[in-house]
Amino acid sequence: MDEPRWLDEQQDRAWRGYRRMRRLLDLELARELMQDAGLSEPDYDVLSDLSETPEQRLRLSELADRMLWSRSRLSHHISRMQQRGLVTREECATDGRGSVVVLTPAGRRAVEAAAPGHVAAVRRHLIDRLTPAEVAALGTLSQRVIGHLTGRPEAEG
Amino acid sequence: MDEPRWLDEQQDRAWRGYRRMRRLLDLELARELMQDAGLSEPDYDVLSDLSETPEQRLRLSELADRMLWSRSRLSHHISRMQQRGLVTREECATDGRGSVVVLTPAGRRAVEAAAPGHVAAVRRHLIDRLTPAEVAALGTLSQRVIGHLTGRPEAEG
DNA sequence: GGCAACTCGATGACATGTCAACAACACCGG
DNA sequence: CCGGTGTTGTTGACATGTCATCGAGTTGCC
């Protein structure tokens, strides 16, 4: 085992900063979302993904892949959201094993009520704190890291 | 309620990218850490914070504050790590209510064994994918967001 | 058609995180 | 010194996430 290459001062600052920002942002955004809309972040993400879909419905596995969740986790979470009337399950017409998650009217109202405030919070705590160059850099850098972690399906600079 | 200000294309790219990068990085780093060192990320963070301390010991509340964890969460987690022999609890000499979390020799060996590989993974998946300018930007931007979320104890640019 | 191998989603056991309540103690003003 | 008030850490109940397993259904190959 070679001598480990530790992080230099700039790199350490970036890594620690990233993690602290991450944690603080999470806590604050989750807090506001719950207070203002009665939704957890996972709830919001599910509803948001569903609502961006043409038919307001997605195969369970398709939704799980988009969210980078395990099927098990999504299945449990959907059960809970179903209890609250935000989504329903339907059988899949083309695959007897399959399950389709469908946004209910109540679910749609919930996201629509939550979205403006949530976007505002994202702006207030993150986007509006950044210069346009930083926003661009964050986007670019994220894409590159994502590409690396997913076997770079897109070209890398 | 005014018309909500949605995110423009660049901002949306940054926000979605940030969240996706976050999730993928977490999954991969946690996977490698568990496989190579048998530690979860929370385990590693606790051990790492303790090992950076002069006496390898911290008051429970001090540690919780540094990690941005609730005392309850930390108390539960320390109990589990104590079962595994990574840390111990001692009474606090100066405060009868207090509890001090102490790194055991086994705990110290565990972080020291885990650290090189973990740092290498952080490099491989994040730091080494970034240009020096991006590293600097990430550090700067994080500090500014952190400052905002914590009532800006440091000056803001 | 029929069988082997795989995929889909559900489920239960368990690990982890959250929340409210509590006991023990510290601190402070009188 | 004492009593009210706040802090510290633990606990138990509950919510959430993970993992292994399973039944059902699909797919491909012969």
User: Could you read off the pLDDT of B131-142 as tens digits, one per residue?
Assistant: 999 999 999 999
- Other residues' Cβ atoms within 10 Å of the Cβ of residue B17: 19
pLDDT of residue A57 exceeding 70? yes
DSSP string, B17-69: HHHHHHHHHHHHHHHHHHHHHS--HHHHHHHHHHHTSTTSEEEHHHHHHHHT-
pLDDT value of residue A152? 78
Using alpha carbons, list the distances in angstroms from residue B154 to A135, B81, B148: 22, 35, 9
Report how far residue A76's alpha carbon sits from residue B103's, in angstroms, rounded to the nearest whole number.
37
Residue A2 has pLDDT above 80, yes or no: no
d(CA B157, CA B143) in angstroms, rounded, equals 10
The two three-digit tokens of residue B4, written as one number: 């909500």
CB of B142 within 8 Å of a chain A CB? The answer is: yes
Confidence class for position A1, pLDDT limits 50, 70, 90:
low
pLDDT band at A156 (very low <50, low <70, confident <90, very high): very low
Tell me the pLDDT band of A154, cut-offs 50, 70 and 90: low
- pLDDT value of position A4: 74
Tell me the pLDDT band of A5, cut-offs 50, 70 and 90: confident
CA distance B133 to chain A (A): 9
Quick one: DSSP state of residue B70?
Answer: -
pLDDT of A131 above 70: yes
Rg of the Cα atoms in chain A: 19
Whole-model pTM over 0.75: yes
Alpha-carbon distance values, A65 to A35, A58, A62, A72, A103 (Å)? 29, 11, 5, 12, 18
Query: What is the predicted pLDDT for the residue at B152?
Result: 79
Low-confidence ranges of chain B (pLDDT < 70): 1-3, 154-157
Q: Contacts of residue A111 in chain B, CB cutoff 8 Å?
A: none
Q: Rounded to 5 degrees, what are φ and ψ at B149?
A: -75, -20
Chain B CB within 8 Å of residue A143 CB: yes
Across the A:B interface, residue pairs with CB atoms under 8 Å apart total: 153
Are B134 and A127 a contacting pair at CB < 8 A? Answer: no
| Measured CA B41 to C1' C15 distance, in angstroms | 14
